[in-house]
Structure 1
C-alpha cells in the first residue's frame, strides 16, 4: 500500500510539472514541440525528486535479501539421488534448530563451563576398583574412542564441514571410576564422550549445539549430530543418520518431549533445554 501511494505521488509530480511548464510556455507563444519537450524534462526531474522524498519518508522499504549461506543451507533437495548428505537438509529443520538455540543464544563454550560432564567419582559404599570393574563390564555403544574419532571425521569430511574431533581421551583420575571429556567443534557445538575406565570403549555420546539464529548454524548442528550418529555404527550411513535427525526434530516439535529411536541395539535421542540448546545423544539399550 505504501509503495502504491509513493508511485502515485511520483507520477503526479511528473505529470503536474509537465502540464504546468507546457501551459506556461503556450501562453508565451512557444512552439508545441519545444514546450512539451521542456515539460517532459522538468517532469522527469520532479519525478526523481518526489521518489527521493518518498523513500526518505519510508514509503519505499527495501525487502531483505538472503545471503548466499542462508540460501544454500535452507535449500531443500530437488530429488533423492547421489547428492551429498549436506544437500538433504530441510530448510525448515535448519531454521528450527537455529531458532530454538537462539532463544537463549548462549555459545556452547559458556554452557559447557556451567555444566560440563565430570567423571563419576567413587561412592563410599564400594571400593574404587570394584566400581571400575562394574562400569568396565557394562555394555557400551560398541565402539571405542579412536574408531569413533576416525568415523566422525570421515563423515564430517563427507558433508563438507571443516569441523574435526581430536578424541583426546584423558587419563583416569585416582578418585574417578570412568572417563568423561568434551571437545569444542566450534564456538557453539560441543561433542562429549563418556568412556570406560580401563579400555577406550564408549559408554555414551552427547553432542550439543546452541545456534546463532541463522539457518547455516542450524544446518551445522544437524550435520554434526548426524555425523556423530553415523560414527557410532557401521550399519548407519551418513544420509540415513541425517534423515533420522530430521525426523526426530519434527517429532520433538510436534510433542515437545524427548524423542528416542532404537536402532542396532543403540538408543538415539533428541531434546532441547535452555542451557545446552539442542541435545543429541547415543547410548546403549538398557537391560
Structure 2
C-alpha cells in the first residue's frame, strides 16, 4: 500500500544520504545506461533488419540442426555448440569434420575489434559483432541462446591468443552472463603429432611430446602443427568429438569485470608492462 511504499522510499533516501559513495556509483550507472540507450536507439532497428537479411545468406555461419532449448532436440540440446574460428582455412577443416546435428561454425575475418570501453552501439554498427550476436540469439538476454557451448577455436600462437582475448573482452563487455553461467570455452588442439608405423600420438604440450618420443622411439616422425588450417579434416574429427579438450572461461566471485578489462585491454600502463615482463616465457623453437 501507499504507506509501505512511502516508508521504503524514505528508508532508501536515508541510506543514500548516509552513503554518498554508493549513491554516486548508482547515479553513474543510471547515467551510463541512459547514454547507452540513446546511443543505440537509432541503430537497432536497421541493424536487426540487416542481421535478418544477412543470416539468410551468411557464408560465415555453418549452422547445425539441433539447438539449445530445441523442443525436438531428442536429448541432444546440451551437446549443441558453435565454434568461433579465425579465417576460412580453419573453419573449413572444422566444417568438414563436425557433427552437423549439434556443431555449428562461425568464421571470423581476422582479428575482431577491441570493444573495451565502447558502448553497445558498436555491437549493432560492427557487422561481425552484429552477426555473431544474431547467430547466438543473445540480443535480449540468454533465454534465447541457441548453443550450450560457445567455443573459441583459434591457433595457439600470438595472433590466436590475441583473438581469444578480444572475443572474451567482447563477451565480458556486453554479455557477461554468457561467461558467468559457463557457456564460453577455449578449444585445445594438439601442437604436435608423433608417430611411427604402428602408432600415432597427438600431443598438447611439450611434456606430452617428450613422453610420446620416448614411447615411440627410436626415431619417430614428429610434426608440429603451426595452425588449425594445417590439420586435415580426417584428423580434426578426433579433436572435436566427445573427448575434445575444452578449457572453460570462468570468473571468480571476487573478479571485478571492469577492473579486469581495464588492466588487460585498456591503455598500456606501466603496471601491465611490468606484469608482462615478469611473466614472459621465452620458448625454444620446438620445431627444431
Under a length normalisation based on structure 1, what TM-score does the superposition of the two structures give? 0.23
Under a length normalisation based on structure 2, what TM-score does the superposition of the two structures give? 0.23
Structure with the larger RCO, 1 or 2 (CA within 8 Å, 6+ apart): 1
Q: Which has the larger radius of gyration?
A: 1
